[in-house]
Amino acid sequence: MDKEQLSDRLSDIVPIKMSTVRNTKSCRGCTPHNNKLHVYDWLHDFPELQRATKMVEVQFKNTRKGYYINSNDIDLQLGDLVAVESVPGHDIGTVTLTGKLVELQMKKNNYREDVNGGVKRVYRIARATDLEKYEQAKAREQPTMIRARQIAEDLGLQMKIGDVEYQGDGNKAIFYYIADDRVDFRQLIKVLAGEFRVKIEMKQIGARQEAGRIGGIGPCGREMCCSKWMSSFVSVSTSAARCQDISINPQKLAGQCGKLKCCMNYEVDAYVEAQRSMPSREIVLETKDSDYFHFKSDIFAGVMTYSTDKYNAANLQTITRERVFDIIAMNRKGKKPLTLLSEADAGAEKEASFAGDLLDGQSINRFDESRKNQSRKRRKPRRRGPDNSSGNNNPRNNDPSGENNA
């Protein structure tokens, strides 16, 4: 292959490579990089709404997001790596939203210019040199976190540094930590600044936020909700477990963060809604034979179990909620039913109890006759004949061929 053919071949390959890199980004409506903070851009098919504002949403490592103005009118698409203004220097982030929805997200997240130090700008689409510095800064995060933990332990600070995030140009580092009490980390900042030669910023997070940043697999076998899709955390109380009749076992109710599992809040509303159609558990049912106290309930099946003992399981009876309402109405009128079970329920329970009786209609002496017959038919032991091992009666001696002789 001569030089001209080689140049033509390269000219055909290079544009394809560049276009492939450009087209590897997610579409306007899809989730980029499996991002849990992604907002579906349902206005991406309206060009006039995409040009309605110059503000763009940029996401950095994990849960950190920012809003920047595209003052240079750069053609930005979803998934572009951009260099944005920061103090000091610049940072590298991913464009996650453009157009009219950015203003709605800013309003939703209570974005204020005075708090964020004014509106910052998008400088450019990240160059190769920017990405090289960015990768070098990311490579320093893990060693920095380990060393920072050692420094905090040497200073005797009751805190745990869970993650470190370097700025895109490597001039600033954000240290995320968790602590139960207030921590005076002024001396820690001086030591860290002298150790790593960067600007230090400390951010306190909760145990749930730390679990979401680290990630993992939950007891259900799936990726943890806090690292998969949850962006805001709601407090979870033990009343959610009581409402769902879950045993109060701290080891089973706690997640990997040490707090109550967030998934306990998922079905509380359904249980509360179904509980409204059930009678009160505090009402004691009075019958002629005994008083019955509530023991447990199956809300979705609509049945309730009662016990004759207030604190222990004794003489348990399971009845429907309709039957419970009937007994409550009878008690209010001063009447008491004979039993908790209605006549229809008692008959059905009696039929169910005898339906599977294997001995029904069988005599208790049904095996005696068969045993007598077996004893009569028992064979007598065979008598052993005379010892014919020698003599003419031995078949070996009568064999004329002599093949059977030993």
The confidence score (pLDDT) of residue 65 equals 87
pLDDT in tens, 212-256: 888 889 888 998 988 888 877 888 988 899 888 888 888 889 998
Closest listed residue to residue 185, CA positions, set 157, 223, 209? 157
Residue 6 has pLDDT above 50, yes or no: no
pLDDT in tens, 318-330: 999 999 999 999 9
The confidence score (pLDDT) of residue 198 equals 93
* Sign of the alpha-carbon torsion through 84, 86, 92, 94: negative
The confidence score (pLDDT) of residue 379 equals 57
How high is the mean pLDDT of the chain?
80
pLDDT in tens, 119-158: 899 999 999 999 999 999 999 999 999 999 999 999 999 9
Question: Rounded to whole angstroms, how far apart are CA atoms 314 and 160?
Answer: 51
Residue 399 has pLDDT above 70, yes or no: no
Percent of the chain whose predicted confidence (pLDDT) is above 90: 39
Residue 342 banded pLDDT, cuts 50, 70, 90: confident
Residue 304's H or E segment, with its range, is strand 303-307
Q: What is the mean pLDDT of residues 164-187?
A: 91
The confidence score (pLDDT) of residue 371 equals 66
The confidence score (pLDDT) of residue 33 equals 43
Least confident span in 16-20, 190-194, 213-217: 16-20
Q: Which residue intervals of the chain bear CATH 3.30.300.20?
A: 136-205
Dihedral angle of Cα 191, 195, 197, 200, to the nearest 10 degrees? -40
Please give the CATH architecture assigned to the domain spanning 136-205: 2-Layer Sandwich (3.30)
pLDDT in tens, 21-32: 333 344 444 444
Q: When comparing pLDDT for 348 and 82, which is higher?
A: 82
Structure tokens at 256: 């990997």
The confidence score (pLDDT) of residue 406 equals 36
The confidence score (pLDDT) of residue 248 equals 86
Residue 296 has pLDDT above 80, yes or no: yes
Residue 104 has pLDDT above 80, yes or no: yes
Structure tokens at 320: 């429907």
pLDDT in tens, 43-68: 888 888 888 889 999 998 867 889 99
Residue 3 has pLDDT above 70, yes or no: no
Residue 17 has pLDDT above 90, yes or no: no
Residue 41 banded pLDDT, cuts 50, 70, 90: confident
What does residue 263 show for φ and ψ, rounded to 5 degrees? -70, -10
Q: Name residue 93's beta-bridge partners.
A: 82
CA angle at residue 91 from 85 to 93, to 5 degrees?
110
Percent of the chain whose predicted confidence (pLDDT) is above 70: 74
**What are the contacts of 231-236 at 24+ separation with CB within 8 A?**
231/36, 231/37, 231/63, 233/206, 233/208, 233/209, 233/262, 234/262, 234/265, 236/260, 236/261, 236/262, 236/264, 236/265
Least confident span in 26-30, 202-206, 282-286, 360-364: 26-30
Q: What is the mean pLDDT of residues 204-211?
A: 88
